[in-house]
Every structure is written in C-alpha cells, then in structure tokens.
C-alpha cells in the first residue's frame, strides 16, 4: 500500500487530496495545525497529526517516523485576491518555503526515493495575465505571495539538479469549492444568491466584475494532481481548466439561472475604463501526461457552492 503525507490536510486542497488518495488505496497521513481533522472522516488508512509547520523539527519527526513514498506539500499561508501579506511575511515563508526545505532535506539525507509534489500558484506570473500561459511562460511575481512561491520553485529545482530529488511544482490557477473561505469571490457571489432567494432586498458589494479568470473545481484538480504524481517525474505542470471566462458574464448567467437580476443584488466599487486583459492557459502538457482535462466549469462550481450555502441558510 503506497504511503502519502499531505501537508495542509485541513485546507480545501489538502482535504480533497487526502480523500482522493484514500479512495485510490493509499495509506495517508495528514498534517494540520488544528487539533483534529476538519474534513477527512475516520478511516483505518488515515492518520491525522496536529503540527504547526513553522516548527520544522516536528515535521521532520513525522517524516522520520514513517517512510513515505510521496509528500504532497499543499499547506500555505494565503488569502483571497487583494490580501495584504506584508505583516505575515515571516509566517508565510516559514510555511510556504522553509517547511518545503525540511522535506527536501529529509529526502536528501534519509529517503532518496521520496517524491515531492508542491502546490504552486499562478501568482508566479506577471499580473495582469496576458496571452497564452504555460510552463514556458516567463515568471515574475507581482506580490509577496508570488515571491514565496517562486522561492519554493527555485528550491525544488536546486534539489532536483544537484541532489536528484524527484519533485514537481504544480502551478494552480483559480480552483474553488464549498470549502473555500467565504471571502473568496465565488463564495461571495453564491452566498448572495442563496440569501436573495429568501430575502429580495439582499445586496452585496464586490470590487469589480471586470476581469477574466480560469476557474476549476478544486476536488477534480486534486485528483488530477495524484495522476501527475503517479505518472510523471516532470518538474512542472500548470493545472487549470484551459477555459477562460469573463466574470461579469459568468455571474450574470448564474443570477439569471436562478431568476434573479444581478443589478438588484450586486454593486461594484470600481469599474475598469478599459476592457480587462484576456488570457488563455495552455494545459496541453497536463493532458498529454495524465490523459485528462477538467470537466467541471464555473457554473458547476457555483451550483455546488450554492447548495452548501442553502444548507446553512
């Protein structure tokens, strides 16, 4: 039975990843900073460890205790669009980069066959996104979060090239689910629809609807991430739907599907004077290696979120 360690198992990505790994027959250890597992139910093949990844000695202890085949580093200090990282720089680097270094060092010193999969971010690309984006696109971070993700990427490449440690950086574009925090864009939108169904006076303000995005279902992307781990030792993949959508059009359609007028419930703090930049994520490399591409679109994702909101209203 293959053994996998999932860092950040109480987050959206880590929890779906752990559940998909268990469904494939893996023995999974999940690390989270909370006292208990948040999403992954009791399972004989699942072990939860409470650990603050800023304390690398504790992480190394977990790695030493069990010989893992794969480590999925999906823990991160991060926030929604516009999040201000400056006060959290030290914590972010400790979790997003230094704990990765601890895993790579363990592989170099004690487990040379360990496979390391890291959850990178599209924020390593210059903003706003333009043109066709793939693994060969020039990278230049435009926020502190992106700087940390670039540092992690360079760290993995160093350990691959110098120490032959098998590691892969997965560059994720927007991927969402009901497990996202409520301040994320699609969670805000679907929350308004859920409330408006009960109260026609519901109103909410967002920064803008004038942007393009590539949205995927988080659970599906996490399953594809396992395919990458099982089928390829390539250093990098972009993970996205490959379908770029206009946020205003997507949100307008979603409101209309639920017999609601967007203008009655959503206002914008700012409008762009010029049309938003269009871009396209090229996922051909991912499709070639895994034989898969995401099937669920933004309307599917919002419907899933809406059902979760309605259950709590």
Question: For residue range 191-233, what is the model confidence (pLDDT) as tens digits?
Answer: 999 999 999 999 999 999 999 999 999 999 999 999 999 999 9
Report residues of the chain scoring pLDDT below 50: none
- Tell me the pLDDT tens digit for each residue of 37-65: 999 999 999 999 999 999 999 999 999 99
Distance of CA 17 to the CA centre of its chain: 10
Q: What is the pLDDT, as a whole number, of residue 276?
A: 80
> CA 132, CA 224: separation in Å to the nearest integer?
21
DSSP at 44: T
Q: What is the pLDDT, as a whole number, of residue 252?
A: 97
CA angle (174, 150, 118) in 5-degree steps? 65
Contact predicate 15/220, CB 8 Å: no
- Residue tagged 């997507």 (tokens): 250
Q: What is the pLDDT, as a whole number, of residue 284?
A: 98
> CA 10, CA 4: separation in Å to the nearest integer?
15
Phi, psi dihedrals of residue 246, rounded to the nearest 5°: -85, 125
Which helix (H) or strand (E) segment holds residue 308: the answer is helix 298-312
Enumerate residues 6+ apart whose C-beta is below 8 A from 168.
115, 116, 117, 118, 156, 228, 229, 232, 233, 234, 235, 236, 237
Write down all domains in the chain, each with its CATH number in brackets.
3-175+217-239 (3.40.50.720), 181-214+244-279+297-312 (3.90.25.10)
Q: What is the pLDDT, as a whole number, of residue 279?
A: 97
Q: What is the pLDDT, as a whole number, of residue 236?
A: 98
- Residue 75: how many CA atoms within 13 Å on its side-chain side? 30
- Residue tagged 């690390």 (tokens): 31
Which helix (H) or strand (E) segment holds residue 99: the answer is helix 99-110
> CA 24, CA 97: separation in Å to the nearest integer?
29
> CA 259, CA 245: separation in Å to the nearest integer?
21
Q: What is the pLDDT, as a whole number, of residue 274?
A: 67
């Amino acid at each position: 039975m293959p053994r996998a360690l999932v860092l950040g198992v109480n987050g959206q990505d880590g929890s779906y990843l752990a559940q998909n790994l268990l469904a494939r027959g893996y023995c999974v250890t999940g690390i989270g900073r909370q006292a208990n597992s948040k999403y992954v139910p009791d399972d004989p093949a699942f072990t939860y460890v409470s650990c603050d990844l800023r304390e690398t000695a504790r992480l190394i202890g977990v790695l030493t205790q069990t010989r893992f085949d794969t480590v999925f580093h999906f823990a991160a200090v991060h926030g929604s669009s516009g999040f201000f990282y400056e006060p959290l720089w030290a914590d972010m680097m400790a979790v997003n980069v230094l704990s990765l270094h601890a895993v790579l060092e363990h592989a170099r010193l004690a487990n040379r066959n360990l496979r390391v999969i890291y959850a990178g971010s599209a924020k390593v690309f210059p903003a706003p996104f333009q043109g066709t984006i793939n693994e060969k696109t020039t990278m230049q971070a435009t926020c502190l979060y992106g700087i940390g993700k670039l540092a992690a990427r360079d760290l993995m490449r160093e350990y691959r090239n110098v120490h032959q440690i098998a590691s892969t950086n997965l560059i994720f574009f927007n991927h969402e689910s009901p497990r996202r925090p409520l301040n994320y864009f699609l969670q805000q939108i679907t929350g308004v629809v859920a409330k408006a169904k009960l109260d026609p006076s519901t109103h909410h303000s967002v920064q803008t609807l004038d942007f393009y995005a590539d949205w995927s279902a988080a659970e599906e992307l996490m399953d594809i991430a396992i395919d990458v781990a099982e089928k390829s030792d390539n250093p990098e993949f972009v993970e996205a739907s490959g379908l770029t959508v206009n946020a205003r059009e997507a949100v307008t359609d979603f409101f209309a599907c639920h017999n609601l007028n967007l203008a009655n419930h959503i206002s914008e703090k700012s409008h762009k004077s010029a049309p938003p930049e269009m871009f396209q994520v090229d996922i051909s490399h991912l499709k070639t290696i895994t034989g898969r591409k995401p099937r669920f679109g933004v309307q599917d994702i919002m419907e899933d979120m809406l059902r979760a909101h309605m259950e709590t209203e």
